[in-house]
Chains A and B, each alone.
Chain A
Amino acid sequence: GAGVSQSPSNKVTEKGKDVELRCDPISGHTALYWYRQRLGQGLEFLIYFQGNSAPDKSGLPSDRFSAERTGESVSTLTIQRTQQEDSAVYLCASSTGQEHTEAFFGQGTRLTVV
């Protein structure tokens, strides 16, 4: 596609349920980031994928959070046993990882845990 696509756009879930968020990066982009943005706050790094290398998971806040990416395609961020503090916008970005390192963002998924 032309840009980074994230789905769903909005998700409301009950506390304790699992959720799965999807990111379709720009075709050919080897680098992919997930960020969390709480209301009125900046972007918190969660996880980074670069090609077939082992992902950098150092930003994942707990073991309830996990993410997968198959090759250089779609990535899914899974949050298990959601808590109210997980409510946030989850943003995905991709870049070529090469000289032109501009990161392109999706519109995010707004997750609300009730």
Chain B
Amino acid sequence: AQTVTQSQPEMSVQEAETVTLSCTYDTSENNYYLFWYKQPPSRQMILVIRQEAYKQQNATENRFSVNFQKAAKSFSLKISDSQLGDTAMYFCAFMKHWRGGADGLTFGKGTHLIIQP
């Protein structure tokens, strides 16, 4: 079974600063996907960024980028130029390649990110 660990229950930064959310995972799989989801108070889980394990290049989506270290099983999210609208819960998630089930899509416990004005 896979496990995903987010060690920061809550983080707070000033607007426009850069913040990094950490995530580590444990798996015996070689092919898999990693995701960061954002959950604002509206409850909607929004995909922020995804990374395929077979790709060495770190994924980037505008102000969001990841630092994927496959050997270390680490997948951190960096948010640059943080904005008030970035305030939300952020969940790191792991998914096996095309297989599902109980350990197919596994989430960490989340990090509550607060952007201060």
Residues of A at the B interface (CB closer than 8 Å) are: 31, 33, 35, 41-43, 45, 48, 50, 56, 58-59, 89, 91, 93, 95, 97-99, 101-105, 107-108, 110
> Chain B residues in contact with chain A, CB under 8 A?
33, 35, 37, 42-45, 47, 50, 91, 93, 95, 97-98, 100-102, 104-110
Given A93-B45, A99-B98, A105-B45, answer yes or no on A48-B104 (Cβ-Cβ < 8 Å): yes
Q: Is the CB of A43 within 8 A of B97?
A: no
- Contact of A110 with B43 in the complex, beta carbons under 8 Å: yes
| Nearest opposing residue in chain A for B101, CB measure | A56
Q: In the complex, are the beta carbons of B45 and A42 less than 8 A apart? A: no
Are A31 and B100 interface neighbours, CB within 8 A?
Answer: yes
CB distance A33 to B100 under 8 Å? yes
Neighbouring A residues of B35 by C-beta, 8 Å: 102-103
Cβ contact within 8 Å between B102 and A50:
no
A-side contacts of B105, CB under 8 Å: 33, 45, 48, 93, 95, 103
The answer for the CA separation of A45 and B102 in the assembled complex, in Å, is: 6
The distance in angstroms between the C-alpha atoms of A43 and B104, with both chains bound, is 13
